[in-house]
Amino acid sequence: MPGKRPEPSLEFVQLLTSHQSRLYAYVLSLLGDRNQAEDVMQETNTVLWRKAHDFEPGTNFGAWMLKVAYFQVMAHRQKLTRDRLVFDDSFLHGVAEDAEQHCESQEEKQRLLSDCIEKLNERYQVLIRRRYTEGATLKSIASQSGQSENSIKQALFRARAALIECVKRQPSEETV
């Protein structure tokens, strides 16, 4: 077939194979990211294979290979820059407003939960604070109160159920 390239020589294949670790180290040093380096290395090997007929045996294969790799790294970096998304001001403004509303909503939920904790009986308040504010374990709460872990577990279950009911009873505009 007229346009078909000849297969690379055995010497070329041996040179390419023996220089893979050097090629990887070079590309990695330029990119600093293993995944990107592996991608660029594959691209570089493809280009080297296609241009095998351009290599002149007896010349410095390593220098030629690194020059090709350099151009592949530059093309990769240019592609990254081109593919990077740039958001316009109106989009960024919308995201900022959503984030602000989310923060306000979270603050309102936190206030609502605090109000409901204050409405619990004293025993449940103490249990909730010990477990969730102080981070005490069921075992430590049980040993300090002289009760079984199971009774503490049951009391916490009831306290949480009371909190859920309290939150559900609040007007919907407050719960956002």
- The answer to whether 63 touches 72, Cβ cutoff 8 Å, is no
- The answer to whether 138 touches 153, Cβ cutoff 8 Å, is yes
pLDDT for residue 173 is more than 50: no
Q: For the ranges 37-46, 77-86, 114-123, which has the lowest average pLDDT? A: 77-86
What's the pLDDT score for residue 175?
Answer: 41
Residue 49 structure tokens: 């294979």
Report for 73-77, 111-115, 148-152: range of highest mean pLDDT: 148-152
Domain covering 10-83 assigned CATH 1.10.1740.10 in the classification: yes
More confident call, 98 vs 87: 98
**What does pLDDT average to over the chain?**
84
- The 10 Å CB-count burial string (b at 16+, else e) for 28-61 is bebbeeeebbeebbebbbebbeeebeebeeeeeb
pTM of the model: 0.47
* CATH C-level class of 107-175: mainly alpha
What are the boundaries of each domain within the chain? 10-83, 107-175
pLDDT for residue 100 is more than 80: no
Please report, in angstroms and rounded to a whole number, the separation of the first and last CA atoms in the chain: 72
Confidence of residue 174 (pLDDT cuts 50, 70, 90): very low
Residue 13 structure tokens: 């294949």
Q: What is the mean pLDDT of residues 116-132?
A: 93
Same fold across 10-83 and 107-175: no
One-letter identity of residue 94: G
